[in-house]
Amino acid sequence: MKISRRDFIKAGAVGTASMGLSGSLFSSNKWFQPVSAKGKSQEKIAFTYHTTNCGGRCAFKCTVRDGKLSMIQPNTWTDKRFSTVCLKGLSEIERIYSPDRLQTPLKRVGERGEGKFVPISWNEALTTIADKLKELKRKYGGKSILFSCSSGIEYTYPFLPSLLGAQFAIESGIDIGLANGLEECIGSKAYGYVQNETSDWVNSSTIILLGCNILETTLTDSKFFFKAKDAGAKIITIDPNCSTTASKSDQWIRIKPGTDGALLLGMISVILDNQWYQHDYLVKNTSSPFLIRADNQKLLKQNDTHEGSTTNPYLVWDENSNSLKPFNAPGVKAKLEGEFTVDGVKVKTVFTALKENQKQYTLKWAAEKSEIGEDIIFELTRDYATRGPAVLGWGFGGGDKWANADITGHSGGILGALTGNIGRVGGGVGVALYHGTSWSAQLSSWELPSQFKATPLEMTTPDMREKPNSVKAVINLGNTLQQHFANLHKTEKWIKQLDFIVTIDPFHNPSVDYSDIVLPACTAFESEYDIVNMQINRSHVLLSQKVIEPLHESKSDFRIEKELAAKLGLDQYLPKTPEEYQKARLNSPDPRLKGINLNTLKENNCIMRLQVPDEPYRGYMDQIYPTPSTKLELYHEKLAEDHQALPTFEEPGEASPNNPLFKKYPLQFSSAHTKYRVHSQFTNAKWINQYQPEPRLEMNPLDASSRGLQNGDLVEVFNDRGTFKARCLLTEAYRPGQIRLHEGWWSKHMAAGNLQNVTNDVLNPRQYKLRYGPVIPYNDTLVEVKKV
Ligand SMILES: Nc1nc2c(c(=O)[nH]1)N[C@H]1C(S)=C(S)[C@@H](COP(=O)(O)OP(=O)(O)OC[C@H]3O[C@@H](n4cnc5c(=O)[nH]c(N)nc54)[C@H](O)[C@@H]3O)O[C@H]1N2
Ligand SMILES: Nc1nc2c(c(=O)[nH]1)N[C@H]1C(S)=C(S)[C@@H](COP(=O)(O)OP(=O)(O)OC[C@H]3O[C@@H](n4cnc5c(=O)[nH]c(N)nc54)[C@H](O)[C@@H]3O)O[C@H]1N2
Ligand SMILES: [Mo]
């Protein structure tokens, strides 16, 4: 039988009974019952939480009537400020019954990408997968298998990659552009979370949000934004567009896209010129007094002058003795500024070098680059540097997804250091989303015997599409093929020559269509087991329970991994049930988990606060950093030959007027995130789509009129990589020169194409030297638009 997915769903070839309730929600009204029916039905309450990657982490109290999810309410947290739910959570009552659910395992019958499948049994699907993986492992080794995991999948198949010796990737090259620069200063590897907990914002005088639409992308932290505002903080949003967050801020500064680094460099100059920096903080807590050798651009260390030191500390110029001393020697008073000669070699302090490097980045220069007025940059800097504790908070979608993002991150670290705003009550620099910094605890892990080890990721997954590598099979946990790679045509070329592709997902997302075998997974509401998942978030432990039985023929990720392991003859090493697994994880000596176990969690609505102080979490209050010197390191030796030891502004990789391509493609294409969806999730949520029924290309009326476009026209967006079509939405909120389609729309919702057909995938070679490797510069994209 050869039928397409659509035919197969229409015909109801399988799962006919469940189609009745999923397909006809609005048409038949069978779903809703009169209030009088209440009491006649079987009712139960169960608790789960949202695992989608919106940062909200809402916990749900779910009412199940006659086996169906019927009501979602916010669950009560120990700290009640987190008891929230948004439209996305409420919409699950409809979405989990969506006709887009994968209902049975599928086997591809058409070409990859065509979307032609036939239903098969679980046994056939799992046997096919296991046989293929065994064969690949035998022929090429486990490294020929890549598990590629979406964000927000809670159970990330923690055992199979190790059992197979396979590679595992989660979000390779994503959300790391700014962190690459910042964390070279801090020494951490924490995705740029060098913030205090958002609840500490009430102690801030100034909060600068740079490309950070927190009121949409961490909706549930909105109360902390408004509490800070009420407490007197001045909130300034810097965004090319009048975002939701900009509209609620005290000030909106409209920046030219891709120039965040120029703005921050200008601010550094203003601080230096006006001596608004914290001299003592810089000497005590940063590498500013370290000495740079003129001959090789390296920092001067003890072995440079006295060979044989085992500790080999950095040297500074000690004011007391007027001589070189190890920076950490007792009683040293390091000079912040100066040039000296040591054994015939000229050296200068990092601070002096910074001052020299900044000469090129005048206020005037920054104003021209960023297209923000000089007076505005001056006032912004004064607010930041002189009004007391200040936050410089950014997102992952504004300045991050550009080829020059690391320079912005580095400049941000320097701004925080100059003003003493790192490790300070009411301070912080870095990502301000997800309520990402809060108290945490160490869970135990479930150990496999030592012979089972995953293969470390050979290279970033975007590179796998072009550079020689071992991967022959990709197991998609989620919608990674559409979402994780810019330039979809290149992705398609890669996957068409792979030996084997599997997708495991609750929904028929676009990555499904490229797959050879498809497995239907449960959503966060379904399971075969009473206890499902557990995580630590917002200083609490959250447990999820089964709310309803698996819909259609779906299975939980735990069950799928377990059954696949059984087909490989290796399931004896895995926990028998999720309950056994979560029990083992909680069996930890960490005192912050004292008294928290599965029983006490069940007694407490499945949420308990860790045994931690009531205070907001604040990082680095001891001013000890995980860098080689334990100080904030402003000078990055390893980037000296790239002229980035101190930040040097670079134009965007593609979306810059200096690029010859700009003449042909004069518009910058951005694909920000929206409150209505989480990436490609909720694209099919009917209740939400009342508000955003179709993809809309947002643009300023000026850009539209010069192209003869009217609001609502169908347009084609194109560049040399590809094209897509959508209706346009004209809005003054959008900056001329930048156009936007929110990321995530499935291909089938587009008038034609996919937005990833045009996005820029050219990686910046310098960034291979940085902590996280190169960032995918989705927003660093030039396009042109024409009427269809
Ligand atoms: N509801 C919802 N929440 C989410 C997500 C979601 O999909 N939906 N996704 C989550 C994930 S994984 C991420 S990474 C985060 C992203 O969260 P954010 O970083 O807040 O996301 P964006 O909306 O992509 O970008 C933020 C703002 O940057 C602006 N911007 C665009 N270009 C520039 C620029 O060059 N400079 C500056 N200064 N601003 C610019 C945009 O106009 C936008 O208002 O959100 C998380 N939260
Ligand atoms: N052009 C452009 N591209 C972007 C971005 C951008 O701004 N612009 N943003 C990037 C960013 S910041 C990020 S973080 C990535 C996000 O990329 P992804 O994390 O891949 O995006 P999602 O659409 O959230 O994909 C989640 C998938 O997991 C499935 N899923 C949900 N729950 C479960 C579960 O319990 N089990 C299983 N097996 N599957 C489940 C969902 O149905 C969905 O298909 O996208 C990146 N892509
Ligand atoms: Mo992200």
Q: Are 294 and 340 in contact (CB under 8 A)?
A: no
Tell how far the Cα of 433 is from the centroid of ligand 1, in angstroms.
Answer: 9
Going from the C-alpha of 304 to that of each of 247, 291, 527, 546, 629, the distances in angstroms are 55, 12, 63, 63, 16
Measure 213 CA to ligand 1 centroid, in angstroms.
Answer: 6
Q: What is the rounded distance in angstroms from the CA atom of residue 140 to the CA atom of residue 143? A: 7
54 CB under 6 A from ligand 1?
Answer: yes
- Secondary structure class of 612 (helix, strand, coil): coil
At residue 207's C-alpha, the angle toward residues 205 and 208, to 5°, is 140
The CB of 780 under 6 Å from ligand 2? The reply is no
Say which ligand is closest to the CA of 220. Answer: 1
Residues 295 and 230: their CA atoms lie apart, in Å, by 53
Instruction: Check pocket membership of 174 for ligand 2, CB cut-off 6 A.
Output: yes
Cα 56 to averaged position of ligand 2 atoms, centre (Å): 15
Tokens of 517: 């075998």
Interval between CA 178 and ligand 3 midpoint (Å): 12
The pLDDT value recorded for residue 22 is 37
Report which protein residue has its CA nearest ligand 1's atom 33.
Answer: 398
Whole-number Å distance, alpha carbon 254 to ligand 1 midpoint, is: 15
Distance CA 560, CA 564 (A): 6
Give the mutation target among 213, 461, 479, 487 for probing the ligand 2 site: most ligand atoms within 8 A of CB.
479
What's the rounded Cα separation, in Å, for the pair 442 and 716? Answer: 50
Cα 477 from Cα 170, distance rounded (Å): 10
Helix axes 350-357, 260-273, angle to 10 degrees: 120
pLDDT of residue 305: 82
Distance 212 CA to ligand 1 centre (A): 6
User: How many other CB atoms sit within 10 Å of the CB of residue 198?
Assistant: 31
Ligand lying closest to the C-alpha of residue 737:
1
- Does 738 sit in the ligand 1 pocket, CB within 6 Å? no
**Ligand 1 lined by 739 (C-beta under 6 Å):** no
According to CATH, the superfamily of the domain at 177-438+624-642 is Dimethylsulfoxide Reductase, domain 2 (3.40.228.10)
Residue identifier of the C-alpha nearest atom 4 of ligand 2 = 483
Which ligand is in closest contact with the Cα of 740? Answer: 1
Nearest CA to ligand 1 atom 41: 398
Shortest CA distance to 482 belongs to which of 453, 451, 513? 513
Q: In the 8-state DSSP scheme, what is residue 448?
A: P
Identify which of 727, 722, 740, 724 has the alpha carbon closest to the alpha carbon of residue 668: 740
Contact 514, 548 (CB under 8 A): no
Angle, alpha carbons 777-782-788 (nearest 5°): 130
Instruction: Please give the CATH topology (third level) of the domain spanning 101-172+457-521.
Output: Rossmann fold (3.40.50)
First to last CA, the chain: 38
291, containing H or E segment: strand 291-293
Amino acid residing at 777:
P
Cα-to-centroid distance, 447 and ligand 2 (Å): 28
Distance 751 CA to ligand 1 centre (A): 24
- CA dist 406 and 388 (Å) reads 27
CA-closest candidate to residue 598, choices 662, 644, 675, 545: 545
Nearest to 146, CA basis, from 173, 126, 165: 165
Cβ of residue 518 lying under 6 Å from some atom of ligand 2: no
Separation of alpha carbons 147 and 159, rounded Å: 11
- Distance CA(742)–CA(696), nearest Å, equals 8
CA dist list (Å): 362 to 255, 270, 378? 17, 8, 11
Q: Are 362 and 209 in contact (CB under 8 A)?
A: no
Maximal CA-CA distance, the chain: 93
Residue whose CB lies within 8 A of the most ligand 2 atoms, among 51, 96, 153, for a mutation test = 153
Ligand 1 pocket, residue 132 CB under 6 Å: no
The Å distance, Cα 478 to ligand 2 centre, comes to: 7
Q: How far is Cα 618 from Cα 422, in angstroms, rounded to an integer?
A: 10
Domain ranges of the chain: 101-172+457-521, 177-438+624-642, 660-787
Token pair for residue 576? 């028998």
Task: Confirm whether pTM is higher than 0.75.
Answer: yes
Ranges of the chain whose pLDDT falls below 70: 1-35, 38
Pocket test for ligand 2, best of 57, 434, 502, 505 (most atoms within 8 A of CB): 505
Sequence-ordered strand ranges (E) for 138-281 = 145-149, 167-170, 206-210, 234-238, 251-253
Tell me the C-alpha distance between 352 and 160, whole Å.
53
**Quick check: CB of 238 below 6 Å from ligand 1?**
yes
DSSP string, 687-700: HHHTTS-S-EEEE-
Joined together, the tokens standing for residue 92 give 């699950």
Residue 444 to residues 276, 545, 551, 559, 593: CA-CA distances in angstroms?
Answer: 46, 20, 32, 21, 11
3-state helix, strand, coil in the chain (%, to 5): 30, 20, 50
Q: How far is the CA of 152 from the centre of ligand 2 (A)?
A: 7
Residue 20 pLDDT: 33
The set of residues, in sequence order, having a beta carbon less than 8 Å from that of 612 and lying 6+ positions away, is: 439, 441, 539, 592
Cα of 150 vs centre of ligand 2, distance in Å, is 5
Contact 441, 536 (CB under 8 A): yes
Cβ of 675 less than 6 Å from ligand 1? yes
Written as six digits, the tokens of 601 are 């969690």
d(CA 602, CA 530): 11
Query: What CATH number is given for 660-787 in this structure?
Result: 2.40.40.20
